Homo-oligomer: A and B are copies of this chain.
Amino acid sequence: MTARRVLVTGASGFLGSHCLTPLAERGYDVIALHHARTPFDVPGVRWVHGDVMDRDAMRRIIGAEKPDGLLHLAWFVEPGKLIADPSNLTWVAASLDLIRAFREAGGERCVISGSCYEYDWRYGYCSEDVTPCEPDTLYGAAKDSLRRAFLSYCSVSGLSGAWGRAFFMYGPRENPARLVSSVILSLLKGVPAKSSHGLQVRDYLHIQDVADGLVALFASEANGPYNIAANAPVTIRQIVELIGVITGKSHLLQIGALPARANDAPLVLGDGRRALNDFGWKPKLTLEEGLSETVEWWQLHADDAGDRR
């Protein structure tokens, strides 16, 4: 695999923004696509404005920039709406058109971000070769659908392709409405943070670890689906309590004050062995390290939380 010039979609987003430096540090010529959000300076990265939904614009950008690599991370994101929003269909469609346009303009290597939502959560433990992909949300079905068509296209077109499944993420620039951000922001403001019983076991990673994993996958010759997972169980309650300890505001936690979601899966945990075996990646930060770094970041940035997604 010799892709050197990589187009990153969703580059200004939560996940994308954390991929830029690792890509530049590996020596890639990084073309970062932004649309709704304002770009920010990253050494070695060149920003290009464009909308993945605009087929003509994407063909123009690909024709002009001639990337041989594509890291496609852009997707509809809005907490609470993501799971069932009809935009998920539109993102599958735009992604398929993008993949074909990229390949037919000479693209060689493509990695797309998938999700643990592709798996059937009734199985709990999510292992690439074993756990069935039978999602019960539109978001999961859309990612599952895109992956199936994408990987099949790779096998007939000669495009080198891999699919990195993110699990649960937290860290700098996360949408303030999400669990970790919202608990941190409440405690930093000195207001109570309510949560459910928190006994659900999940697979949580600091966003920089997820981004490093996707970049490592991109830089490898691995093909097919890969979990980018912590491979370590943690309860929501443990996360919330740890934030309380780190901020010194445990007394503001109101665990159990909110009802648990109906049918919430008791366990969603990713098997990380395939990524470790095939391209030598595993996460670096412990939960304590990751949460401490995130609290520090929010201490500096709490005021602009309203601008972030």
Asked if A89 and B84 sit within 8 Å, CB to CB, the answer is no
Of residues 98 to 150 in A, which have CB atoms within 8 Å of B's CB atoms? Answer: 99-100, 103-104, 135, 137-138, 140-142, 144-146, 148-149
With A142-B152, A148-B141, A148-B144 as contacts: A100 and B96 at CB distance below 8 Å: no
Chain B residues near A30 (CB-CB < 8 A): none
Q: How far is the CB of A13 from chain B (nearest CB, A)?
A: 22
Residue A299 CB within 8 A of the other chain = no
Complex Cα distance, B204 from A115, in Å, reads 39
- Which A residues contact B (CB, under 8 angstroms)? 84, 86, 88-90, 92-94, 96-97, 99-100, 103-104, 135, 137-138, 140-142, 144-146, 148-149, 151-153, 155-157
Asked if B86 and A97 sit within 8 Å, CB to CB, the answer is no
Q: How far is the CB of A119 from chain B (nearest CB, A)?
A: 14
- How many copies of the shown chain assemble into the complex? 2
Complex Cα distance, B300 from A290, in Å, reads 76
Chain B residues near A153 (CB-CB < 8 A): 86, 88-89, 138, 141
Asked if A141 and B152 sit within 8 Å, CB to CB, the answer is yes
Complex Cα distance, B146 from A36, in Å, reads 28
Complex Cα distance, B86 from A104, in Å, reads 10
Q: Which of B96, B145, B156 contacts A84 (CB 8 A)?
A: B156
Asked if A145 and B138 sit within 8 Å, CB to CB, the answer is no
Q: Which of B93, B96, B103, B138 contacts A152 (CB 8 A)?
A: B138
Chain B residues near A144 (CB-CB < 8 A): 148
Complex Cα distance, B142 from A99, in Å, reads 14
Shortest Cβ-Cβ A-B pairs, 6 listed: A141-B152, A93-B93, A145-B149, A93-B96, A145-B145, A84-B156
Asked if B92 and A99 sit within 8 Å, CB to CB, the answer is no
Q: How far is the CB of A305 from chain B (nearest CB, A)?
A: 30
Chain B residues near A92 (CB-CB < 8 A): 92-93, 96, 145, 149
Chain B residues near A151 (CB-CB < 8 A): 141
Q: Which of B90, B96, B135, B138 contacts A89 (CB 8 A)?
A: B96
Chain B residues near A137 (CB-CB < 8 A): 152
Complex Cα distance, B140 from A151, in Å, reads 12
Which of A93, A94, A103, A141 counts the most chain B CB atoms within 10 A?
A93
Chain B residue at minimal CB-CB distance from A139: B152
Chain B residues near A86 (CB-CB < 8 A): 100, 103-104, 153, 156-157
